[in-house]
Amino acid sequence: MSVKTDMLTIAMNIAENIEKGVKPLIGWEKSTEIVKIGADGTPTKRIDLIAEDIAINSIEKQCSAILISEEIGHKQIGDNPQYVIVLDPIDGTYNALNDIPIYSVSIAIGKLNNRDIDKLTINDLEVGVVRNIATGDIYYSERGKGAFVIENNIKKRINTSKTTNLSDASVGVFAYGLTTNTLDFIKDRKVKRIRIFGSVALELCFVARGSLDAFINVNKTTRLCDIAGGFVILKEAGGIISDRDGRQMDMTLNINAKNSFICSNATLHKKFVSIFGNKWKLKPTKFGIVSRADKKEAIELVHKIINYLDSKNINYELEQDIYNKIVAERRLNTFGFKLGDNDIENKDKYLMKDVSEISHIISIGGDGTVLRTSRIINGNEIPIITVNKGTVGFLAEFDVEEIFNIIDNIINGDYEIEKRTKCSGYIKYKDNTQKTLPNALNELVITTKSPAKMIQFEVFVNGNFVEEIRADGLIISTPTGSTAYSLSAGGPIVEPQVDGFVIVPICPFKLFSRPIVVNGSSEIKIKMVKKETLVAVDGAIEGELKKGDEIILRKSNKWTYFVKGRNFYENLRKLSIIDGGTR
């Protein structure tokens, strides 16, 4: 056996031999026969087995290696193997058997260097080759040398796209086992177009050359052999590829290794991770602290949290009101705060000035404090840890005694994020001028300016007239806000994950004017018919309406993120919104 040490040559030869051997089988009726169950637990068709045998013969003529392939599993070829080769002999078998020209052979190679293969990961692979068997196009890369495509015998360097806006992005989606949030993502059309090609290796290469802006599979169903060749190529093309939580891919070189993945350019990658995963599982960089400043117990808790974060060497900053309160208390020596006299004057060290530098924010108080925290975050993707020190605290996920455990969990990356829908909108005045409203986490309320005076308005959903209502006001509630003012006004309890909004009349004149739940993708329009009204967003007055003015509302493209604590129904029982009963 002649030995070659050029890994790219080895991979290119394997890919070429498989293409030559497989092409004549397209359309052969026996190609589709299932001949066994592969090492990865999926059925092996005859064409897959033939392609793998061709690869083994090709490797035997070139080098000694450990082969990892979907059908055979792990196989040592030759003595004293020099390389590890990860192979998907035909990626997109369905396409191949149905003569859809998107199927490939995918190969990745790394050096063993006398290392135990169990200690190696996908990041130890150095050469990637993906060959579109139908068209002959070849994608390849060598570590540190860039990524290339050969089309019609012309070689071109490739790089990921420069697209930065989701609304401009073309995205590939892994077709099998779509999760609810992936289906919602497709339904909501946050991106320009969705594509499903059915060949993971090629789709990674499409991202590498900028033909796709991103490719995602947020289930942990992607196999090592599917991704290895394209993974190496995409990295050399400047792409970012991680699991759905933004963590580095570290799949072991094992036939059973599986993971989720998100790949794109650096800018879009952050946005997709924030949609589908928990990008904050990496160690927090800096906590922000927002608290009620009118309660001694809340101030004491802030003091304890500060000392605890100091003991963990975690940076923190304080929101203006609580900072001022702590400075005042420190000067009075009420609680013996750890902040020194010099620190008190150094506002740059502890005062929260740029919220975008905060990785996590602790909110201490009731629901009002949580809503204030959401406004402070102002659309930045920062998870809130809510601690109940208020009157009701339905939005508070944690009790005081839990806060230090959850801080530890966050530092260790052992926690979940819950994403909450917000409502965006604007006022359209009858003179055609407009005013943009802040996003609502709980609700938007239209209410009379004069006590005991009804207002009259028309409600439209997606341009369809719903009804004309006379009432004391109207609530448009998010699922999160369904347990707030909406509930008091007779609205339904809605799970936070429901994609919808609730329209609730406040004390309507007609008893048959009932709350309505509408789809989250709906456009809601409220047109004033009589009387002047006030508009409040999450309890804060944001404007006035007169006859002929309109409010247009839709689902916001921003979310509020919470560190998840107790479940929704546990919270309902705890606050006696539903009967806890006995079990």
Q: How many CA atoms lie within 13 A of 197 on its CB side?
A: 24
Going by their DSSP bridges, the two strands 524-530 and 550-563 should be labelled as antiparallel
307 CB neighbour count, 10 Å cutoff: 12
Q: Which amino acid is at 59?
A: I
Q: Which of 39, 228, 26 is nearest to 126 (CA)?
A: 228
Q: Which of 501, 496, 504, 493 is nearest to 520 (CA)?
A: 501
Q: Which amino acid is at 367?
A: D
**Contact yes or no for 363/340 (Cβ under 8 A):** no
Distance in angstroms (rounded) separating the CA atoms of residues 170 and 473 = 42
| Dihedral angle, C-alpha 8, 148, 145, 218, nearest 10 ° | -90
Distance in angstroms (rounded) separating the CA atoms of residues 204 and 149 = 13
Q: Which amino acid is at 496?
A: P
Distance in angstroms (rounded) separating the CA atoms of residues 362 and 364 = 6
Distance in angstroms (rounded) separating the CA atoms of residues 474 and 476 = 7
Catalytic residue among 48, 213, 226, 367: 367
Q: Tell me the sheet residues that pair with 86.
A: 68, 108
Distance in angstroms (rounded) separating the CA atoms of residues 85 and 292 = 59
Distance in angstroms (rounded) separating the CA atoms of residues 62 and 16 = 14
Distance in angstroms (rounded) separating the CA atoms of residues 10 and 7 = 5
Q: Which of 134, 123, 326 is nearest to 227 (CA)?
A: 123
DSSP label at residue 481: G
Query: Sign of torsion, CA 294 297 298 303?
Result: positive
200-208 and 224-236 helices, crossing angle to 10°: 10
Distance in angstroms (rounded) separating the CA atoms of residues 295 and 439 = 28
Distance in angstroms (rounded) separating the CA atoms of residues 70 and 459 = 57
Q: Which of 497, 494, 513, 493 is nearest to 505 (CA)?
A: 513
Extract the tokens encoding 228.
């290895």
310 is catalytic: no
Going by their DSSP bridges, the two strands 34-37 and 550-563 should be labelled as unpaired
> Rounded to whole angstroms, what are the CA distances from 296 to 67, 241, 335, 372?
66, 47, 10, 19
Distance in angstroms (rounded) separating the CA atoms of residues 140 and 233 = 6
Active-site positions read 367
